[in-house]
Structure 1
Amino acid sequence: MISVGAQRRVFVSTRPVDFRKGVHGLVALVAEDLRCNPYSGDVYVFRAKRKDRLKFLLFDGSGTVLATKWLEDSGFAWPPAQDGVVSLTPTQFAMLFDGFSEWSRMTPKAVKRPNKTA
């Protein structure tokens, strides 16, 4: 498992992409189609037409990382295919990455901010 820290935001492109695209093609897709900064340190997840494959892209401060994962016996549980992007928590991404179908039902608990006391 590849760990994504809590400080990183995760975005899933809901439209399938051509999986022949490499780092430069996906960076251009993030910048032009998703209108995001591919060098922000956020994680961008892409799906293939087949549900069993994903690629994710992130800039770690010294270079761009592109990783691919294929599930052997099943498929990933993707959001509905449409134009746009879906934001995930790092925990939801870990569950998606591991092949769990329940990731979409996992929602973070609201945390009450502490009050400033004198």
Structure 2
Amino acid sequence: MKGLISPPAIYLYREFVDFRKSINGLAALVESETDLSLDSGALFLFTNKQRDKMKVLYWDNTGFALWYKRLEKDKFKWPSREKHQVFTLSGEEFERLLSGFTIIGHKPIEIHSFTMS
């Protein structure tokens, strides 16, 4: 999703969800279990019980969009033992999560730029 949208916030829902839920079911979950605004343009991340699939729900000013990713050989490093129901992620943490890296309890990798003389 890199470069496709610039969300004002990224929220990760900690508990796994029934992946038969689509846009309406996931939107109802956000409305009933959080106080977050669905029409803010924020991304809402959900995973299945096996942690090998992710759905991303967001509002793009014309309607809801749902993005789906399935990992072939790995599992998403989802925070399953944390106390918070919803986490706020940075764009970098989101990209790391999509790439299969752990995001909770680890500092992001610093990228140093250099110039050649």
Alpha-carbon distance in 1 for matches of 2:14, 2:26:
14
Q: CA deviation at 1:37?
A: 1.3
Work out the CA distance in 2 between the residues paired with 1:83 and 1:19: 21
Aligned twin of 1:43: 43
**For residue 57 of structure 1, what is the amino acid of its counterpart?**
L
Unaligned runs of 5+ in 2: 111-117
Quote the Cα distance in structure 1 between the aligned partners of 2:108 and 2:34. 23
Query: Is the contact between residue 57 and residue 64 of structure 1 (CA under 8 Å) also seen in structure 2?
Result: yes
Residue identity over aligned pairs, in percent, reads 31
Q: SS in structure 2 opposite 1:56?
A: strand
Q: Deviations over 1:14-44 (max 9, x none)?
A: 0111100010111111111122111111110
Which amino acid in the other structure matches residue 93 of structure 2? Answer: Q
How many Å separate the matches in 2 of 1:27 and 1:14? 15
Q: Distance in 2 between matches of 1:62 and 1:12?
A: 23
- The alignment's TM-score, normalised by the length of structure 1, stands at 0.80
SS of residue matched to 1:39: helix
Q: Which residue of 2 aligns with 1:17?
A: 17
Is 2:49 aligned against 1:52? no
Aligned Cα RMSD in Å?
2.1
After TM superposition, give the deviation of residue 2 of structure 1 in Å: 4.0
Superposition misfits of 4+ residues, deviation over 4 angstroms: none
Partners of 2:84 and 2:107 lie apart in 1 by: 23
Check 1:83–1:19 CA distance in 2 against 1; reply closer, same or farther (3 A cut).
farther
